[in-house]
Amino acid sequence: MRIVTWNVNSLNARIDRVEAWIGAASPDILCLQETKMTDEAFPHDRFAALGYEAAHFGEGRWNGVAIVSRVGLDEVRSGFADGRDDSDPDARVLWATCSGVRVASCYVPNGREVDHDHYRYKLDWLGRLHDDLAANTQPDSDPVVVVGDFNVAPDDRDVWDPKELEGSTHVTEPERQALGRLVALGFVDVFRERFDSGGLYSWWDYRGGAFYKRMGMRIDLIYASAPAAAAVDFVLVDRNERKGEKPSDHAPVIADFALA
């Protein structure tokens, strides 16, 4: 089972590339982030023509997440289930069960600047994700795969220059500890499990020629519960997809699971 996470930075702008990439990479479950569209505008027909059904949670201008699957799409739920009355105003997480695997497609808040309200929102959001997983999944016994644009680089190997970035968002201790709490629940960063090396990224800023200078971050992550992580047999960041005409600023991250 091939599961992919890809922040497409507008599905309207990217649909032709997404369609072509599906043809080449043949994912079973494709989780998208930053679709930047309403549910009404989501191009279900384009995916149906390729043999996929899709669930989308969007608001229009910003954010927006989707799960596109050819192996079933059940128990779809958007947002968090904690019943908090300050419910998230943004469309940032979508859940579905696909062929027995509980899947979450996440677009974690960027944070903007440390000491910004958005940074506190980011930490709170990651806490809610942790609590939702703790309350509603059994990662010790069940296959659960939580993917997306986490907007956090898990450690210094995941950024081009830790010294230059010190103290800025994506690398602060509280953000990394928030990911650490997911790991403590039993979730494994399947890319890092497989590759020790730094310099392997999933996002490169459009500005300043960051991609060709190899100045990126690994912030698009695939977290798998122990039963799923044990079944991983292939992991790849498809950095070729960052090249060419009208790329997203993120590359797709692929993990293959030897699951039925």
Partner DNA sequence: ATGGTCGATCCTCGA
User: Interface with DNA by CB under 7 A: which residues?
Assistant: 9-10, 12-13, 36, 60-62, 109-110, 112, 118, 151, 205-209, 212, 243, 246
From the list 253, 178, 248, the residue with the least C-alpha distance to 218 is: 253
Of the pair 60, 79, the CB lying nearest DNA is at 60
Of the pair 58, 139, the CB lying nearest DNA is at 58
Of the pair 36, 130, the CB lying nearest DNA is at 36
Q: How far is the CB of 34 from DNA (least distance, A)?
A: 7
CA distance 178 to 173: 8
What is the Cα gyration radius of the chain? 17
216 contact partners, CB below 8 Å, separation of at least 6: 159, 160, 201, 202, 203, 204, 205, 210
Q: How far is the CB of 201 from DNA (least distance, A)?
A: 14
Of the pair 51, 212, the CB lying nearest DNA is at 212
Class of residue 8 by CB neighbours under 10 A (exposed 0-12, middle 13-18, buried 19+): buried
Q: How far is the CB of 209 from DNA (least distance, A)?
A: 4
Of the pair 212, 233, the CB lying nearest DNA is at 212
Q: How far is the CB of 3 from DNA (least distance, A)?
A: 22
Q: Which helix (H) or strand (E) holds 252?
A: none
Spatial contact of 188 and 224, defined as CB atoms under 8 Å apart: yes
Q: How far is the CB of 217 from DNA (least distance, A)?
A: 11
Q: Is the dihedral of CA 243, 169, 181, 163 positive or negative?
A: positive
Of the pair 47, 257, the CB lying nearest DNA is at 47
User: Residue type at 103?
Assistant: V
Q: How far is the CB of 31 from DNA (least distance, A)?
A: 17
